[in-house]
Structure 1
Amino acid sequence: MPDPSVTAGLLLAAGAGRRYGLPKALVELDGEPLVRRGVRLLGDGGCAPVHVVLGAGADEMPALPGAVSVRHDRWSDGLGSSLRRGLASLPAHVPAVVVVLVDQPLLSPVAVHRVRAAYADGAVVAVATYAGRPGHPVLLGRETWPLLDYYALGDRGARDLLRDRPDLVVEVPCDDVGSPLDVDTPADLLRLRTLIDG
């Protein structure tokens, strides 16, 4: 019987950040690279182990205490391949994983705790929602991982799985804790700083 308190964390941080001009994992917010911020998010949310999928700029990444770096040489195949690479890297005893993206730095550890709690209550897939729309973090029970060989292709991760198998999905409202806004350009980062500064 899987232990519902055991959930790994998976940070997808392999992209080149073409619109930004450098890999978004290396972009800094308040002096901290987004990749380290993502590791901290998952750790503070109670995930262990935490794996980070790295691709573009992997050789320039800072040290990531508390995380396992997973190099993905085929990162240019898209988000789906990074997700599948990350899942394949996790130890066999891990029954579930919480997935987040490196370019969403305002996600909250509270949201991570909430999707983990939904798993402990029996959810197979738990997805944070904001204004009723699915976002991250997303928790995936191990029994769903083989399905992603079909769904996680190109730049698609688990989104189509969530759409096609609503019977598996528990939605977890997280409007009151953080924001799913992402950083695609330097202008986006300025907007996030404005939100943080109030």
Structure 2
Amino acid sequence: MTGTPTGATDQGTHSTVHGVVLAAGTSSRYGDSNKLLEEVDGEPLVRHAVRTLSASSVDGVTVVVGYEAARVREAVPDLGADIRVNRAFEAGQSTSVAAGVAATRERGDDAVVFALGDMPDVAVQSVETLLRAYRRGDGDALAAAYDGTRGNPVLFDRRFFDALTTIDGDVGGREILLNDPDAAMIETGDPGVLRDIDRPTDLDGRNTDR
């Protein structure tokens, strides 16, 4: 769905949105290395996602870590983000989503935007586009899109927090984004919202130190 859903209401410019980077996974498809620590354009992959959210106008950033938590934490010590350890990370991405929702609830924010730690090419402006869409009432569950294809980051209003904490396995909020009447894809014009790093070959052609 694109555009303004029927049930959407204007959130207003006062709405606060917390930024969460999901960075707890085991990188099982990548091989023996932790892909989040692979050098991409001279820096660990995870730093790119954290920097993007930190440079946007979100109201604070939390990085959810799990697998090799200490090493991932050490990759982002200077970017102003809080760290939350998900000790249940092996149960799937849903546990990290729940941890991110908990951090957002503790702050009392109105919504959460989730970014993935393995997506280094998302533009700051794409995050801003999502925030503006939410605040003008384009929907309560929003996904960044490029050329009509749904990608990441994704944003959820607080009314979905309970649902997000009851999902299981390696599913984030996909069911909400696909089926809720107040869900929408927000066109960003940014191919980076579709580009993640799953395997070493995904880094071919980039300036890396692999």
Q: Fold conserved (TM > 0.5)?
A: yes
- Per the alignment, in what secondary structure is the counterpart of residue 178 of structure 1? helix
Distance apart, 1:19 and its partner CA: 2.2
Is the 8 Å Cα contact of residues 110 and 177 (structure 1) preserved in structure 2?
no
Could you say which residue in structure 1 is the equivalent of 2:54?
Answer: 43
Aligned to 1:93: 108
Select the residue among 92, 98, 104 that pairs with 2:119.
104
For the residue of structure 2 that corresponds to 1:76, the secondary structure is helix
CA distance in 2, matches of 1:57, 1:176: 31
Distance (whole Å) between structure 2 residues aligned to residue 76 and residue 177 of structure 1: 30
Give 1:170 deviation, angstroms: 2.5
* Number of residues of Structure 1 aligned to a counterpart in Structure 2: 191
Q: Is the 8 A contact 2:54 2:79 kept in 1?
A: no
Once the two structures are TM-superposed, the CA of residue 105 in structure 1 deviates from its matched residue by 0.9
CA contact (8 A) 2:19 2:61 kept: yes
**Counterpart amino acid of 1:133?**
T
Letter in 1 for 2:102: A
Deviations 1:148-188 (A, max 9, x none): 234x31000011111121x1112211234634211111110
Once residues 179 and 138 of structure 1 are traced to their aligned partners in structure 2, the CA distance between those partners, rounded to angstroms, is 10
Match of 2:89 among 63, 68, 75: 75
Over the matched positions of the two proteins, sequence identity in percent amounts to 34
> Structure 2 residue aligned with 1:9, among 19, 35, 45?
19
Which amino acid is 2:40 matched to?
L
| Kept in 1: contact 2:177–2:184 (CA 8 A) | no
Amino acid at match of 2:26: A
RMSD: 1.9
1:88 counterpart letter in structure 2: A
Higher RCO by CA contacts (8 Å cutoff, separation 6 or greater): 2
2:165 is paired with a residue whose SS is helix
TM-score of the aligned structures, taking structure 1 as reference length: 0.88
The answer on 1:190 being equivalent to 2:204 is: yes
In structure 2, runs of 5+ residues without a counterpart are: 1-10
| TM-score (structure 2 length as normaliser) | 0.84
**Counterpart secondary structure, 1:143:** helix
| Shift in alpha-carbon separation, 1:179–1:128, aligned structure 2, 3 A | closer
In structure 1, distance between residues paired with 2:95 and 2:188: 27
